[in-house]
Amino acid sequence: MAKSVKHILKQELEIKVGGKLWLESEGERFFGPGPMELLEKIEETGSISNAARAMNMSYKKAWELINHLNTQTNFPVVVPQAGGEKGGGSTLTAEAIELIEYYKALRKRFKTFLENETERLKI
Amino acid sequence: MAKSVKHILKQELEIKVGGKLWLESEGERFFGPGPMELLEKIEETGSISNAARAMNMSYKKAWELINHLNTQTNFPVVVPQAGGEKGGGSTLTAEAIELIEYYKALRKRFKTFLENETERLKI
DNA sequence: TAGCGTTATATTTTCAAATATATAACGATG
DNA sequence: CATCGTTATATATTTGAAAATATAACGCTA
């Protein structure tokens, strides 16, 4: 029989099992909620700087996340253009879109896991 | 068919799905890897201060973790004694032991989840 | 070719989280 | 009843991550 903690935790508190997921390589995280949101915002706004602004992240950090991410993939997932119409911008490759889709699916499975575990707290 | 990212990520890099789990109440985390290790160390060493030292954590932080944890449970999971033999110490209640057992089981299920997801990366 | 907002990069500054330090009360023990 | 190493708490200090700032190069456009 599985261990239960129902009688230990205060039932009136709405206690949940929470968590966080990421992709890591040699122990270093390179993709998670932050980069995920960043990719989406780049797609929406057309540039790394706009995306960073939109999510209250410094440009430097955003650039580093993207740069790191690009080193983990066979081809860059974000293609930068310095200069040009409107000063330039960045676009997502098809691979970035696939990565987003993958992460959404992964997140959904994780959500189910967390919900199951939260349910189990009440048993 | 599920989204695959095998062709996107560099295969030579040993990429894994990593993660972290915790218990939260009203959005605030009160139990995770840190408190878990702390409880185990308190059991081993007999006091909060020894436990903190053993895991290179400041006493203040250790005390706060334990204090916060005690507010989420029907009964304190750690019982402190200031003064007495050897200056005092802290002992775990049966509930703390059960919480440790629960977390170990949860962690095991999560490990399986992560391993499955890591396997899926190669498909 | 001047202007624009971007990418790319280095340097400085800020700030929150953590540690470090200090102090009082505790209670068994010799 | 002095000693000991705790718990409990407040305050000061450190420090490391993040943001802020600065600057150059880029390339389209007017």
What is the residue extent of each domain of chain B?
Answer: 29-120
Please, is B88 exposed, middle or buried when counting C-beta atoms within 10 Å of its C-beta (0-12, 13-18, 19+)?
Answer: middle
pLDDT in tens, chain B (123 residues): 677 899 999 999 999 999 999 999 988 999 999 999 999 999 999 999 999 999 999 999 999 999 999 999 999 999 999 999 999 999 999 999 999 999 999 999 999 999 999 999 998
Checking if the pLDDT of A1 tops 90, the result is no
- Give the residues across from A22 on adjacent strands: B18
Rounded distance between C-alpha atoms, residue B42 and residue B48, angstroms: 6
Interface A-B: count of C-beta contacts within 8 A: 112
B18·A25 Cβ contact <8 A = no
CA–C1' A62–C12 (A): 19
Q: In this predicted structure, what is the pLDDT of residue A68? A: 96
Report the CATH architecture of B29-120: Orthogonal Bundle (1.10)
pLDDT, chain A, mean: 95
Rounded distance between C-alpha atoms, residue B100 and residue B25, angstroms: 18
CB-CB neighbors (< 8 A) of B20 in chain A? 19-20
Strand residues in B28-102 grouped as ranges (E): 28-31, 78-82, 88-92
Considering the four listed CATH numbers 3.40.50.80, 1.10.10.10, 3.40.220.10, 3.30.390.50, the one that applies to the domain covering A31-120 is 1.10.10.10
The model's confidence at residue A33, banded by pLDDT at 50, 70 and 90, is very high
Q: How far is CA B33 from CA A17, A37, B25, B81, B100, in A?
A: 13, 26, 16, 25, 10
Checking if the pLDDT of A21 tops 90, the result is yes
Beta-carbon contacts of A104 under 8 Å, excluding residues fewer than 6 positions away, are none
Tell me which chain B residue has its CA closest to the CA of residue A23. B17
Number of H helices, E strands in chain B: 4, 4
A102 touches chain B (CB under 8 A): yes
Q: How far is A10 from chain B (nearest CA, A)?
A: 5
Rounded distance between C-alpha atoms, residue B93 and residue B18, angstroms: 32
Please, is B4 exposed, middle or buried when counting C-beta atoms within 10 Å of its C-beta (0-12, 13-18, 19+)?
Answer: middle
Rounded distance between C-alpha atoms, residue B61 and residue B50, angstroms: 13
- Give the residues across from A18 on adjacent strands: B22
DSSP state of B76: -
Rounded distance between C-alpha atoms, residue A72 and residue A50, angstroms: 24
Q: Are A25 and B15 in contact (CB under 8 A)?
A: yes
CA–C1' A49–D17 (A): 20
Q: In this predicted structure, what is the pLDDT of residue B3? A: 74
